[in-house]
Amino acid sequence: MYLKSKWITFLKVKNRILLLFGLFGFFMGIWDIVSLIVYYWGDWNTVIHARSTPESIVMIIIGTAILLYISFSITQIKNAAFYSSYFEGNLYGDITFEELSEVTGYSVNKIKLSMYFLRFVYMKNFSFRKNDSEKYIELQSKTVVCSCRSCGAEIDKKIYFSGICPYCKTSDVFAAVLTDNKIYSIESEYSKEKKSPDYYICKYFNLRKVMFGISLALALSVFLIIGMVLITYIVNYNDHEYLKQELLSGRSYSSYELIKKNMMNTIIFCIFVMFMLFPVMSLSFKKLIQLFAAEKYAEKFVRTSSPFFDVGKSVKNKDNVRKEIKKIRRIIQSRYLRNCSIEKHGKSLKIAFAKKIVKDKCPHCGAPITGAVDEKYVCNFCKNSVMSVIVKK
């Protein structure tokens, strides 16, 4: 509802295409420079003035610029999706920059700058307002009604956020929200059935752990093997006895100079490969840590007896509450945790469970809304009235 979906889809396709060009330009440029250095080791004048050197440097610069741009674009699209999800779950219609700062962990100034940029490029259906000296975000959505399916009671917005109907004590509550010429509902699925940890972790969770584990193991193995080769060549580079054995070994070496040049070529090549493997290992290790942490939090969520997980109560040292929230936030943004979100209730941040956004469906039976011609729509399936459905084209 708050994303420029078609435009973002186009940008994602564009990013994938640019990624290929960026990687090709960067690695081809690096490879050419390394090849020149290896082949003409010591002859720096030839390396600097080689015909392909300027072209390789330009390819590296352009490739790096493209990769940085793609990284920025991907980050902003993820941020836009996070903010859109947060906006959809809001029933009050306005959100302060301070609230977003606490939820995201970014500074207020960074939030303001980010929101102005996102509204211009990636997002829609909200505007900026000023009340006295305080600026805030005003959503174009309008809360139609908050009610309980079990007993039919209308519920106040603040009470709805508790996830439990104050009259019949069930969690079968929902809010109807109108925005972007469409109606959608926010439903609580907290106690419809006993949840398992799998409900809160991402799909193909075990497969992801295996893939990142294999990636880390392979990269680490190659890194260690090449590291041993590198150390061996560095240690023996000025070892006269080793050089003498190599010269008398019957290989095609005719001088110590050629042997050392070949060793230097191998040293440079090993350093280059290790440099390329390091980010692969770091990323795989980081992802594994996040996956195991997501599994731990999912188990905690299942044991929680309320619709909210209070981080402050689960951490012994109160000074670590912010660190814990930051960790959970990163895992949610990586989409390893699902069916939960960070929300501010009162003066504290909590993890809300099982809040489901249902778009363009009847809030009573879940059937799609079709053929609506005025604001008073009667569901074709359950015959319940769905208020404030406006003309749909």
pLDDT in tens, the chain (393 residues): 788 888 999 999 999 999 999 989 988 888 888 878 777 777 788 888 888 889 999 999 999 999 999 999 998 998 888 888 888 888 888 888 888 888 888 888 999 999 999 988 899 888 888 887 788 899 888 887 888 888 888 888 888 877 788 888 887 888 888 776 677 778 776 665 556 888 888 888 999 999 999 999 999 999 999 999 999 988 888 888 888 887 777 665 667 777 887 888 788 888 888 888 888 899 999 999 999 999 999 988 888 877 788 887 777 676 677 788 888 888 888 889 888 888 877 777 888 887 777 766 776 777 776 655 455 667 778 877 765 554 332
Separation CA 18–CA 22 (nearest Å): 6
**Triad 114, 115, 119: Cα angle to 5°:** 120
Neighbours of 133 (CB within 10 A): 5
Strands 376-378 and 385-387: antiparallel
Angle separating helix axes 108-121 and 97-104, nearest 10 degrees: 100
| Residue 268: closest CA among 37, 22, 10 | 37
* Full-model pTM: 0.73
Phi, psi of 239 (to 5 degrees): -85, 110
Token digits for 139?
A: 């959503």
